[in-house]
């Protein structure tokens, strides 16, 4: 939606963290029947980062949060809410946000997770807006973190090539100038839930010897169907969010799509008629890191000096659920 009172929230700091271990396409050639050329041609991925055995999602998120606080010139005591978007929580309960709170040494403040697949970071921005503009919170730490390789079936060459581990974060607070979030659009369709999901581990299929033997604790994806719905829904979200902000396609200075597959990224750019140089992508370095992809892109764009004050950024994502969302933002 578009706010009628013109009050906005803005990003005042960004940061991200990736594990040290790099898994290249050449490494994968030794694990499954694939090749560097096959992977890169179809996905745009050259390498991805892999969390160590003793690294959980919160460990990545804590490091990303520290760097984000530093970027914003803040201390942990300055935040009054932690929202964590993840599909790979440390534990079913407590929330990963609470583990992050503990790890950061934060005050006794609210902390909770949201589960919206790869769309989670944008869902988190939308939630943060209402919490800040209604006066309940002043400064929110929004974290998107995943350790997807821990739920990856390394025998399945169609999925094991895609995913990596990472965390990205942002500080959100009310804007007092022209910069900030201009409009948003978010939707979900649970009828498409089986396109991308982790069957076991919840109450539908609790852990058992049988579920483990059948690899039901690993993510499963119907790739062709995901591609079709992703492109359609991301285009829908982008067009709707531009209209709500009173913007045109030509106004986009940077398009940041969720980094799932280079073919999806390129398809969205073509449909929106955004020149390739304005479509930001880093999938070659990290693979699909789900909710961490958009904040990582934001941080890299900012650090590379490519974002100028007043630039219009369109963030667009889809994910398990099936969920999709877009946000327009004036830098």
Phi then psi for residue 78, to 5 deg, are -80, -15
Q: Is 118 a catalytic residue?
A: yes
Query: How close are the terminal C-alpha atoms of the chain, in Å?
Result: 19
Task: Out of 258, 261, 297, 299, pick the active-site residue.
Answer: 258
331: its two tokens: 């830098």
Which H/E stretch holds residue 266? Answer: helix 262-271
Q: Which of 25, 218, 229, 288 is catalytic?
A: 288
**296 closest CA partner among 16, 88, 85:** 16
Work out the angle between the directed axes of helices 262-271 and 223-245 (0-180°, nearest 10): 40
Instruction: Tell me how far apart the alpha carbons of residues 292 and 259 are, in angstroms, rounded to a whole number.
Output: 9
Active site residue 218: no
- Told to judge if 25 belongs to the known catalytic residues of this protein, a careful annotator would answer no
Question: How many Cα atoms occupy the beta-carbon half-sphere of 71 within 13 Å?
Answer: 23
Q: How far apart are CA 166 and CA 148, in angstroms?
A: 9
Q: Is the Cβ–Cβ distance between 251 and 314 less than 8 Å?
A: no
Beta carbons within 10 angstroms of residue 262's beta carbon: 17
310 Rama class: left (phi>0) / alpha (psi -120 to 50) / beta: left
Place of tokens 């009050």: 7
Q: How far is CA 296 from the centre of its chain?
A: 8
Residue among 118, 160, 218, 297 flagged as catalytic: 118
Phi, psi of 158 (to 5 degrees): -80, -25
Residue count (the chain): 331
**Catalytic machinery residues:** 118, 258, 288
């Amino acid at each position: 939606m578009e706010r009628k009172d013109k009050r906005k929230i803005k990003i005042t700091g960004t940061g991200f963290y990736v594990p040290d271990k790099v898994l290249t396409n050449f490494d994968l050639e030794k694990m499954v029947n694939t090749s560097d050329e096959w992977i890169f041609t179809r996905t745009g991925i050259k390498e991805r980062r892999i969390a160590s055995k003793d690294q959980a999602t919160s460990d990545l998120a804590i490091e990303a949060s520290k760097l984000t606080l530093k970027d914003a010139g803040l201390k942990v005591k300055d935040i009054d809410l932690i929202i964590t978007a993840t599909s790979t929580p440390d534990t079913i309960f407590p929330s990963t946000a609470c583990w992050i709170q503990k790890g950061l040494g934060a005050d006794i403040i609210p902390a909770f997770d949201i589960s919206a697949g790869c769309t989670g970071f944008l869902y988190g921005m939308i939630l943060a807006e209402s919490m800040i503009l209604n006066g309940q919170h002043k400064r929110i730490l929004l974290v998107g973190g995943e350790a997807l390789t821990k739920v990856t079936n390394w025998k399945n060459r169609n999925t094991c090539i895609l995913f990596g581990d990472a965390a990205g974060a942002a500080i959100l607070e009310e804007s007092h100038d022209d910069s900030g979030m201009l409009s948003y659009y978010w939707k979900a369709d649970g009828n498409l839930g089986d396109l991308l999901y982790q069957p076991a581990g919840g109450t539908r299929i609790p852990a058992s010897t049988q579920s483990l033997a059948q690899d039901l604790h690993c993510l499963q994806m119907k790739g062709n169907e995901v591609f079709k719905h992703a492109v359609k829904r991301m285009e829908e979200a982008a067009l709707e969010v531009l209209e709500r902000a009173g913007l045109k396609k030509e106004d986009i200075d940077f398009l940041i799509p969720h980094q799932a597959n280079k073919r999806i990224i390129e398809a969205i750019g073509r449909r929106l008629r955004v020149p390739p140089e304005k479509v930001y992508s880093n999938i070659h370095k990290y693979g699909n890191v789900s909710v961490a992809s958009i904040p990582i892109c934001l941080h890299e764009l900012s650090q590379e000096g490519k974002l100028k004050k007043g630039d219009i950024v369109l963030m667009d994502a889809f994910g398990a659920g099936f969920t999709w969302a877009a946000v327009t933002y004036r830098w």
